[in-house]
Each structure stands twice: as structure tokens, then as C-alpha cells.
A and B are shown apart, each in its own frame.
Chain A
Amino acid sequence: MRLVLALILVVYGTFSNASERFITIASTTSTQNSGLYDYLLPIFTATTGIEVRVVAVGTGQALKIAQNGDADALLVHHRPSEDAFLAMGYGIERRDVMYNDFIIVGPKADPAGVSNQENAINGLEAIAQHASLFISRGDESGTHKRESEMWALAGISPNGDWYREIGAGMGAALNMASSVDAYTISDRGTWLSFNNKGTLEMLLAGDAALFNPYGIILVNPQKHPHVKIDLARTFSDWIVSDEAQKIIGAFTIQNMQLFCPNAKSPKASDGVCPTSVPMQK
């Protein structure tokens, strides 16, 4: 017992407590896995002295966390769910922050011939027709919700041995797709920063239907009086400022831009960044 006490004292002594001025943001794994926050948030903290704590989960869970009042703001990517969240009065002041696009990735051999298809819907049809292995997130995340919408648009209700719902994050889905040579839908940010691609390749991208916008929403202080609305608003103001938007645009992995800032021009006409997000091939 005394030993345990001594150990604890040593460990406690080494680490001081974090600052008082902080906000909690519920966000998506795609933004965290890309490394954007590690790059962006220290700059905000240095400027304002406000620490930002990011809880990165699927969009569905992030909305739930915010709805319960366990976060001060949301940064997610599923517009219909975001609008419903605002309509129910849980959130206020939604703003566009940035976008990129979803892509279809799959084995290099491409047995279903997805890369020859004109658009994403045709790509999914080809996968279903060939009954090629497809990994679905199955976790109510923004990516999963979008995937379900795409299947609905294609008029297919995917089921069978080839369609595997894994109920896990984007990284886990990519890991699985890479180890069993399956197709999956990913956001471009996670894909570019993913380090276990194996034989996977980006097969289809650039379809306007794959547009993937991210927005920031503040948790309504009338629903949850304890939220730090002022600090959260400071962050929201900052992330749409010219300075932060420039930083987001400059974030690259292997010379490829991951997110396109769009606070100023929310209605990007198509799914491809006006300046870049170059195709990998």
C-alpha cells in the first residue's frame, strides 16, 4: 500500500493539471485521423489561450454527445443530421468550415471495374452486380449515412455475403478492406493519411454526389446553460476567419490538400476543390 502511494505521488508530481479555459468539441474520426487538429488547434490555443479538447467519434455519436450537453460545439459532416439537430433546437449558428469528397477505394485489380464507371452510383451498382466484397462502416457515422443514401439512390438494398457491416471507424474499415481486398467508401482526408493501404487504390472520385462538407455548430446554451458559449463562439469565429481558412487550405499530406476551406463560398458548385485536391492518379 505504501509503495502504491509512493508511486502515485511520484506520478502525480510529474504532471500538472490542464488549463481552466477549455472547450470540448465533439467531432468526427475523419478530421482527427487526418491529423488536421494536431496541426490546426495548437495555433488557435497559442492565439487565444483556449484549449480545445476534441472527442472524435462518428457523426451520429457526436450529435448525441452534443445533444446531451457533453460538448460545447460540434464539427461534423452530415448535413441532413446537422439540420435536424438545429431544427430540434439543440444547436445554433451553423457555419460552413471546409469540405472535401468521398471516394470509392478498392483492390488494385478492381474485379468489379469500378474505375471504369462514370459516377459513384454506377460504381456501387457494379460492386453489387459482381457481388464483390464491400466493407460498410455500419456505425451511423457521416460516412455511413452517406453510403446508405448512395445505395438508396442506386436503388439497391445491399445485403448478402459480399456486404459486410463492421460497426467501426473509417480506419478500421480501411484496415479490413486492405486485408481482405474489399471495396469501401472513405472520405478523402482519412484515405490520404491512412498508412496501411496495401493493394488498395482510389478507384472513383470527383463525382459531385460525393461532396463532403464539414460544418461547425454551437450547442444551444438555452438547452444546456453550462456550455461555454463564449469560448465556443470564439473558436467558431476563428475557424471561419481568413487566417484559419488559409491554414486549413495549406494542410497537406504528401503534397496533397486534404480539406478545402469554404467558409466564404459555402455553395461550392461541385465536389472537387476549386484550387486543388488533385486526383491521386
Chain B
Amino acid sequence: MTILGQAAELVVSADAELVGIVGLSLRVSLTATLIASLFAIPLGAALAIWQFPFRQVLIVISTSLMALPPVVVGLIIYLLLSRAGPLGHYGILFTPTAMIIAQSVLIFPIVLALTREAILPVNRDYKNLLDAWDVSPVQRLKTLIWDARFAVVTGLLAGFGRALAEVGAVIIVGGNIAGFTRVMTTTIALETSKGNLELALALGIVLLSIAILINALIHWISSFGQKYQVSR
């Protein structure tokens, strides 16, 4: 109870530092989800729709990459962005940008695989119809993605959840710099290492509450959309 109380207190007090940390968490993870989705959704849909060489190989690889450990992604991005690495001259290591890049890479396979799963059934249903109408590939992609949009959003949420929850990648490429690259999960890791276990757990509850809030919001919007669609 004291921990729940502490969590509630944290939220109610709206401590400026905590607000900054929560804000950065959302900013980084939402941006990463957006960037990953821009590429993963069309590509995932394409994998579901068309036959092409090495398609099966791509599917197996993308599905396996869902198990990519965040710390490995962090390490790879770290080595790329370090001054000693190939992209070093941009100087973006230890910045929120580096964190966004790492999380985008991390969740790209998740959104890709789940989008493919979402498009497969609608493609089966509409394939003949779309073939008969002779629609352009782009139009076909758009139509099928739009039709499967609620399932696609679920994949998006899975990716976002993974990004928001991971600590391994952001702590390596972000450096957990106070007031600059410190997010919810790295704060929890830091407070744990300071022995402030109650505070760490309270922060965990705040993180979970935010995730619930966002998911509830999107669930509400999508069920509203579905009802609207039915009533039309």
C-alpha cells in the first residue's frame, strides 16, 4: 500500500523532473513507433500480399528479429554512432535522437511481423476482387492496410509497448543523462541501484499506468471506429 501511495503521490505532485522524464519517454517511444511504422507497415503488408524471391527467408528473419535483445540493438547503434564509428561525425550519441534510432530498429520487426499477420486474412478475402478491378499496387496496399487498420494498430501498440518498456538499448545509446536522456526505465534502474527500491517500484507503477492509459485511449477510439463503421 505504501508503494501504491508513493506512486499516487508522485503523480499528484507532478514533480517537474518526473514530468520531464515521462515526457521524454513518450516522445522517444512514440517517435520511434512512428518511424518504425512508416517502413514496417507497407513492407509487412507487401510480405502478406505479393510473392517474390526470398519472401519466405524474409519472413523467417523478420519474425526471428522480434526476439532481438534490446541490449544488442543498443550496442550496434552505439558502435555506429560513436565518434569512432562510421556515423560518428554526426555527434548524436548520448542524445534522444540516438535513443529514437535504437528503439525504431528494435520495434521495426515487431510491427512488420504483426502487420503481415493482420493483412493476410483481408488479402485472402479481397484478393480476387482487387485482381478483377485491376487496382494499382499502391492502391491495393492502401486498401488492405485501411481494411485491416484495427489489427495493424494492435501491432503498433505492441511495438510501442516494447519501446516504452525497454531499458537495455536506451541506457547504452542515451547514457541516462539527467534532464536530457533519462527516461522512465533508466530512472527505475538508477533508483534500484541506489537502493531506493520503493521509489523504483512506484515509478514502475507510474510507467504501467501510462501504458494502460494510452492503450485504453486507443482501444476506445478503435471500438468507436468499429461501431461507426457498423452503423454506417
Q: Which residues of A contact B (CB under 8 A)?
A: 1, 3-5, 7-8, 11-12, 14-15, 18, 24, 29, 32-33, 37-38, 51, 53-57, 67-70, 169-172, 174-175, 178, 193-197, 224, 226
Contacts and interface: CB of A to CB of B under 8 A. Distances in A.
B162 interface: no
Contacts of B129: none
A8 B31 contact: yes
B194 A193 contact: yes
A170 B34 contact: no
B97 to A, nearest CB: 11
B158 interface: no
A37 B23 contact: no
Contacts of A1: 37
B26 interface: yes
A175 B30 contact: no
Given A15-B27, A195-B197, 8 more contacts: A1-B37, A4-B33, A68-B82, A68-B84, A171-B193, A171-B195, A195-B195, A195-B196
B104 interface: no
A53 B195 contact: no
A4 B156 contact: yes
Contact of A175 (B93, B94, B192): B192
Interface string B74-97: 000000001111001101011000
A55 B172 CA distance: 10
Interface of B: 20, 23-24, 26-27, 30-31, 33-34, 37, 82-85, 88-89, 91, 93-94, 156, 175-181, 190, 192-197, 218, 221
Contacts of A193: 194
A33 B194 contact: yes
Nearest to B199: A195
A171 B176 contact: no
Nearest to A55: B175
Q: Which has the most chain A C-beta neighbours within 10 Å: B27, B175, B194?
A: B194
Contacts of B85: 68
A29 B30 CA distance: 29
Contacts of B27: 8, 11-12, 15
A51 B95 CA distance: 14
A12 B156 CA distance: 20
A5 B156 CA distance: 13
B30 A53 contact: no
A226 B177 CA distance: 20
B159 to A, nearest CB: 11
10 tightest A-B CB contacts, nearest first: A171-B193, A196-B195, A69-B83, A55-B175, A195-B195, A68-B84, A53-B177, A194-B195, A11-B27, A68-B82
A220 to B, nearest CB: 13
6 contacts: A14-B23, A33-B194, A51-B180, A54-B177, A55-B176, A195-B195
A68 B80 CA distance: 12
Nearest to A175: B195
A226 B91 contact: yes
A11 B195 contact: no
Contacts of B194: 33, 171, 193-195
B193 A172 contact: yes
A55 B94 contact: yes
A56 B180 CA distance: 13
A54 B27 CA distance: 21
A7 B91 contact: no
Q: Which has the most chain B C-beta neighbours within 10 Å: A32, A70, A224?
A: A70
Contacts of B195: 171, 174-175, 178, 194-197
A70 B156 CA distance: 33
